Amino acid sequence: MPAKIIDGKAIAATLREDCAKEAARLVRDHGVTPGLAVVLVGSDPASQVYVRSKGKQTRAAGMASFEHVLPAEVSEADLLAVIDKLNRDPAVHGILVQLPLPKSLDSQKIVAAIDPAKDVDGLHPINAGRLATGLPALTPCTPLGCIILTKSVHASLQGMNAVVIGRSNLVGRPLLQLLLNENATVTIAHSRTRDLASVCRNADLLYAAVGQKEMVRGDWIKPGATVIDIGITRVPGADGKDRLIGDVAYDEALQVAGAITPVPGGVGQMTVACLLVNTLRAASAIHRLPPPKV
């Protein structure tokens, strides 16, 4: 029997609706309009698409959207000045600097300059440290979306064996911490892992986040496992348009897994929706209000 397809598009749409209701409540009851500022450096086409999508969905949820587009040759000092201005702007509750940045800029220095209370990407060392020690923190959006998708299949992740392939600061490491918070038993695998296929076959929950198309084959998957495919690779299609392919050999996995996210239509849909969640959380915390009900 083919796996259940986890509909990230539908789950993200519901989450955006919930965020819109919470944003309207904040405006109505407290006079607070959550505001998200996105900073884009350069003209990378993929980044431009992401920024437009974020702005559109932010406005659709009843939040304020601020977009700052800077040239690729912007100096580090000028970029830091923009971040400092946003840190001090009371209308801005969330700040996101679109990554990757041009190589002339120090990404770690730029991220560290963001006020941790407004760091809706969850990448500031303070937020990463709080997450690692089990304290409340703004969490990277993609891992947060992965947990929500997983819990659409399993009400509880307690005691389940989870394998995360990939150890990036953006996905793998924070996802490890979120799974530990759900009381899962977690293995984090990577390019140096010995017999990766064997490690994956032990997983009740398998998360693939390496950006290598169709690396995870069907015979790597434990029958009935839940598979969350986080990787995206663009490949030219026969019609001249790019196709998006995940890290998992989808057709093979569909015959083995119990549930699986498609690419596209899975994790990617959740990332922007979780950005709205983080903006709501940041706005509520900054104004010393109870956490939003999302």
For residue 206, give the H/E element and its range.
strand 205-208
pTM: 0.94
Whether 188 contacts 182, CB under 8 Å? no
pLDDT of residue 212: 92
98, 115, 119, 229: the active-site residue: 98
Instruction: Provide CB contacts within 8 A for 248, sequence distance 6+.
Output: 208, 214, 215, 216, 227, 229, 231, 260, 263
Give residue-wise pLDDT tens across range 207-265: 999 989 999 999 999 999 999 999 988 888 777 788 889 999 999 999 999 999 999 99
Give residue-wise pLDDT tens across range 180-215: 999 999 999 998 999 999 999 999 999 999 989 999
18, 121, 204, 229: the active-site residue: 121
121 is catalytic: yes
% of residues, the chain, pLDDT over 70: 100
Does residue 83 surpass a pLDDT of 90? yes
Q: What domains are defined for the chain?
A: 30-116 (3.40.50.10860), 141-269 (3.40.50.720)
98 is catalytic: yes
48 is catalytic: no
For tokens 């009851």, what's the residue?
Answer: 29
pLDDT of residue 253: 97
